[in-house]
């Protein structure tokens, strides 16, 4: 197997694992929050959603193993190691807890180590696989992930510091740049929410980041609408645009029309004073986190006017700019095609 195929298998597994883990929270998270006071019996669902969000490493590792045609024992062993290496599993006051989604880059490092170990061991273990594979993969690959995590996490920190320098810019320029930067972050292994929290991105800056991510989700769905099935298309903005990460790595040019749409949509954050918090900045349209947080923070709250503005900037504008970008970059200046956005999800 060549290096390109190896990397694409890892990226495909992480992209799909991320969407599967986050889709439940995206669809139900805000609903559960809204009903928590009047329906306390839904508390179990909130716990389930938090658990699901922390399972990206496990799901990604298993899917990566499957993409390499490994056995169930091998794939699930890689999943366990990847979950441990993600950093989502922590020891606090003597108890093991799940905290956050984990570091996606380190998931790739851990899973890659697990894959290489399985390839090294091959089929030589035969009947002893179930005894040897799980502990070896967990101890070695999981251990590699555990020790690289603090250093890999520095990547997010450095990117956050770089973006933080933009916060002194003129609002229009700031909004456009934040929209484009978060558009790129959401289709990369970097955690957009982690960046937003690290630099305490709030107010209009948070709104611009959310609109950039929203435009990315709608834009990617629109660009590949004719070649992907309905569920896959909806997953781009209901779930996460990160589902397109393998295609972006394979052909970065496909982000040109998306970045154009993200820049135009993010500009509306300044025009309409779209608000957000550090915790909401990296979600975009997913789970309606961006729109709902804006309505909670904006002056006068949930008025008819504010709701209409929110629909305009979070739905109408990104869809409109998405179709305009598709026309410009597929017809007027054809640098991409629908096939570039095809996803093979079974």
Res 340: pLDDT: 96
Inside any domain, residue 245 = yes
Number of structural domains the chain divides into:
2
The pair of three-digit structure tokens given for residue 324, joined into one six-digit string: 């305009």
Res 346: pLDDT: 61
Q: Are residues 176 and 142 in the same domain?
A: no
> What are the tens digits of pLDDT across the range 59-114?
999 999 999 999 999 999 999 999 999 999 988 888 888 888 889 999 999 999 99
Final residue of a domain: which of 125, 155, 185?
155
Inside any domain, residue 69 = yes
Q: Are residues 140 and 201 in the same domain?
A: no
CA atoms within 13 A on the CB side of 97: 9
Mean per-residue pLDDT, 257-269: 97
This prediction has a pTM of 0.85
Cα 247 to Cα 338: distance, rounded to the nearest angstrom? 12
**Portion of the chain with pLDDT greater than 90, in percent:** 61
Helix (H) or strand (E) holding 95, with range, is strand 95-98
Mean per-residue pLDDT, 200-223: 94
Q: Are residues 128 and 208 in the same domain?
A: no
Which residue range forms the structural domain that includes residue 143?
3-155
Final residue of a domain: which of 105, 121, 155?
155
Given a contact cutoff of 8 angstroms between Cβ atoms, the answer to whether 222 and 317 are in contact is: no
Final residue of a domain: which of 155, 178, 213?
155
Q: Are residues 289 and 324 in the same domain?
A: yes
CA distances from 264 to 64, 75, 82, 236, 273 (A): 36, 43, 38, 19, 15
Inside any domain, residue 60 = yes
* Residue 126 pLDDT greater than 80, yes or no: no
Helices (H), 190-229: 192-198, 203-223
Cβ-based neighbour number of residue 32 at 10 Å: 18
Q: Are residues 63 and 93 in the same domain?
A: yes
Q: Identify the band that residue 179 occupies on the pLDDT scale cut at 50, 70 and 90.
A: very high
Helix 3-35 to helix 56-67 angle (10° resolution) is 150
Q: Are residues 221 and 315 in the same domain?
A: yes
137 vs 199 pLDDT, higher one: 137
CA distances from 67 to 139, 188, 189 (A): 22, 20, 18
* Residue 235 pLDDT greater than 70, yes or no: yes
Given a contact cutoff of 8 angstroms between Cβ atoms, the answer to whether 341 and 325 are in contact is: no
**What rounded mean pLDDT belongs to the chain?**
91
Inside any domain, residue 162 = no
Q: Are residues 23 and 134 in the same domain?
A: yes
Inside any domain, residue 346 = no
Cα 6 from chain centroid (whole Å): 21
Cα 124 from chain centroid (whole Å): 37
> What are the tens digits of pLDDT across the range 155-169?
888 888 888 888 888
Q: Are residues 7 and 63 in the same domain?
A: yes
Q: Are residues 256 and 331 in the same domain?
A: yes
Inside any domain, residue 164 = no
**Portion of the chain with pLDDT greater than 70, in percent:** 99
The pair of three-digit structure tokens given for residue 326, joined into one six-digit string: 């598709």
Inside any domain, residue 163 = no
Cα 277 to Cα 308: distance, rounded to the nearest angstrom? 21
Inside any domain, residue 160 = no
Q: Are residues 143 and 233 in the same domain?
A: no
Q: Are residues 142 and 182 in the same domain?
A: no
Q: Is 91 helix (H, G, I), strand (E, B) or coil?
A: strand
Mean per-residue pLDDT, 194-201: 82
* Residue 205 pLDDT greater than 90, yes or no: yes
Of 201, 216, 280, the C-alpha closest to 247 is 216
Angle, vertex CA 61, rays to CA 60 and CA 66, nearest 5: 95
Q: Are residues 233 and 328 in the same domain?
A: yes
């Amino acid at each position: 197997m060549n290096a390109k195929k190896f990397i694409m298998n890892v990226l495909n597994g992480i992209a799909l694992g991320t969407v599967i883990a986050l889709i439940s929270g995206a669809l139900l998270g805000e609903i559960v929050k809204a009903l928590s006071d009047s329906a306390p019996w839904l508390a179990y669902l909130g716990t389930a959603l938090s658990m699901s969000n922390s399972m990206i490493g496990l799901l990604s590792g298993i899917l990566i193993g499957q993409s390499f045609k490994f056995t169930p024992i091998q794939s699930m062993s890689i999943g366990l190691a990847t979950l441990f290496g993600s950093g989502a599993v922590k020891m606090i006051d003597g108890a093991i807890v799940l905290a956050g989604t984990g570091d996606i880059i380190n998931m790739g490092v851990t899973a890659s180590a697990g894959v290489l170990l399985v390839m090294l061991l091959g089929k030589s273990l035969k009947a002893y696989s179930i005894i040897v594979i799980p502990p070896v993969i967990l101890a070695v690959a999981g251990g590699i992930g555990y020790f690289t995590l603090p250093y890999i996490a520095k990547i997010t920190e450095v990117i956050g510091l770089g973006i933080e320098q933009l916060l002194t810019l003129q609002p229009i320029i700031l909004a456009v740049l934040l929209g484009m930067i978060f558009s790129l972050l959401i289709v990369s292994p970097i955690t957009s929410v982690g960046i937003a929290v690290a630099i305490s991105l709030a107010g209009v800056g948070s709104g611009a980041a959310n609109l950039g991510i929203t435009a990315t989700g709608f834009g990617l769905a629109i660009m590949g609408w004719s070649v992907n099935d309905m569920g896959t298309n909806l997953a781009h903005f209901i779930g996460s645009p990160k589902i397109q990460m393998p295609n972006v790595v394979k052909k970065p040019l496909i982000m040109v029309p998306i970045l154009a749409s993200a820049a135009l949509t993010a500009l509306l954050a300044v025009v309409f004073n779209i608000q957000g918090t550090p915790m909401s900045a990296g979600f975009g349209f997913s789970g309606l986190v961006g729109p709902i947080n804006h309505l909670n923070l904006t002056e006068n709250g949930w008025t008819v006017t504010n709701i209409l503005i929110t629909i305009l900037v979070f739905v109408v504008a990104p869809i409109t700019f998405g179709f305009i970008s598709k026309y410009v970059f597929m017809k007027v200046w054809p640098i991409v095609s629908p096939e570039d956005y095809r996803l093979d999800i079974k």
